[in-house]
Amino acid sequence: MTPIDRRAFLHGSAGLSISAALATMPGLTLARAPVSQRLVVLMLRGGMDGLAAVAPYADLNFKRIRGPFALTPRSDGGSLFELDEFFGLHPALAPLYGAYEEGHFLPVHAVGVSPNRSHFRAQDVLERGVPDPNDVADGWLNRVLQKVAGSDPGAAVTMGRAIPKILRGPALVGSWAPVRLPPAPADFLEAVRANYSGDALLATALSQGLRLRAETARLLDAESEQAGKQWNFVRVAETAGAFLAASEGPRIAVLQRGGWDTHAGQGAVGGRIGPLFTELAQALVALRGPLQAVWDKTVVVAITEFGRTMMVNGSGGTDHGSGGAVFLYGGAVAGGKVMTDWPGLARGVSRSGADLTPTVEVWAVLKGLLRDHFGMDGNTLDEFVFPDSRNTKPLDGLLRR
């Protein structure tokens, strides 16, 4: 693949809109930093059920509390992929089991974000990086870019999609989403070129935009046999991997996927949860495909605003909870284990008698990741990226040293 010119991304988007967001599509937001490490933040909006994803099958209270949702390990004739003698991976996440055995997949369990059970409030906290999202105007990942990217004007790109709160702020960021519009007639483009010829900025932007348009079409196989394929989250993830793999492309991507609010019809293997996990696993595998050459420098972190209740509700689902799971995936990840300070599922140690009690703050996970992946120092993490978080220490052992 021809390397993507990073400044063509930035200036080309100003001169020519080559794509627009599809209203029903999951978003993909891209930003590039002048580092070799790749980072993907995957927002699982709605509250993923961590107890279903990574089931504590050996917890003495698991079967009693989860009832029909309590899967058993394959060694006992069940369907869970045993990660160790205590935890098992949901069968719909089976494509990630090989990565776990490689040491490239690391679940972190009993993770907490915010005690608030409102999606909007908890997501704001998660994206702003502070307990009270009204205290800051930008997102924590934008603050990372401000430190990692410096004044490089090619630090981020805009390609047509709205920027999520996690990336909003002073650092240049942008977005991309697929759309299939008819190509502009050649005479129209020539007329625009002639009209811009007297303006150096617009002429350059148009020229680079046309280059970007051609490169994007090639990257996405828009004119090939792929043209008839329906865009979905898995293809968007694969495309993100292709952009990140480009030698002059972005280095940081944010993927978003909603639908994790499984109040009703969640099911154990079927129902709503099975297809969600299947798509998630397929998307992560597809993302990895183009990144093989830089896989050892890549980390994907999948985060959600809260977990779900321990008990099944009367609608065959689970309600908003507290403790959940975070996934780390990539060649730089020190995986092959489940990292947790497991609180247990007994009512006496649960939050409000219904929730998995968080024992790990999400900020500890993110601090450990940013420290070890981008070399960010403690003061920057404590006071700038996650303001007033000095009491939360970075989690060790997330990445390979």
Query: pLDDT by residue (tens digit) across 336-376?
Result: 999 999 999 987 677 677 899 999 999 999 999 999 999 99
Count other C-beta atoms under 10 Å from residue 38's C-beta. 27
- Tokens at residue 38, please? 């790749």
Phi/psi of residue 109, nearest 5 degrees: -110, 160
Q: What is the pLDDT of residues 272-290, one digit of tens each?
A: 999 999 999 999 999 999 9
Model confidence at 317, pLDDT cuts 50, 70, 90, reads very high
Backbone Cα Rg of the chain: 22
What percentage of the chain's residues is helix, strand, coil (to nearest 5)?
40, 15, 45
pLDDT band, residue 4 (cuts 50/70/90)? very low
193, with CB counted inside 10 A (0-12, 13-18, 19+), is middle
DSSP string, 352-384: TTTBPPP-EEHHHHHHHHHHHHH---HHIIIII
Confidence (pLDDT) at 157: 42
* The pLDDT of residue 252: 87
| Side-chain-facing half-sphere of 75: CA atoms under 13 Å | 11
Pairing of strands 174-176, 28-31: antiparallel
Q: Is the pLDDT of residue 270 over 50?
A: yes
pLDDT bin (cut points 50, 70, 90) of residue 33 is low
Tell how far CA 93 is from the center of its chain: 16
Other CB atoms within a 10 A radius of the CB of residue 134 amount to 8
Cα-Cα end-to-end distance for the chain = 30
pLDDT at 358: 95
What does residue 281 show for φ and ψ, rounded to 5 degrees?
-65, -45
Say how many CA atoms lie within 13 Å of 194 toward its Cβ. 6
Exposed, middle or buried: residue 44 (CB in 10 Å: 0-12, 13-18, 19+)? Answer: buried
Quick: pLDDT tens for 207-240.
Answer: 645 644 554 555 555 434 455 567 788 988 888 8
User: CA-CA distance, 151 to 299, in Å (whole number)?
Assistant: 24
Between 115 and 281, the higher pLDDT residue: 281
pLDDT on residue 160: 35
Q: Give the residue with greater pLDDT, 270 vs 276.
A: 276
pLDDT score recorded for residue 191: 83
Question: What is the strand order of the sheet 38-44 is part of?
Answer: 174-176, 28-31, 252-257, 38-44, 298-304, 324-329, 105-112, 360-361
**Strand order across the 81-82 sheet:** 54-55, 88-89, 81-82
Instruction: Give the tokens for residue 375.
Output: 């070399």
Cα–Cα separations (whole angstroms), residue 134 to 46, 127, 128, 131, 377: 21, 12, 9, 9, 25
Give pTM, 2 decimals.
Answer: 0.85
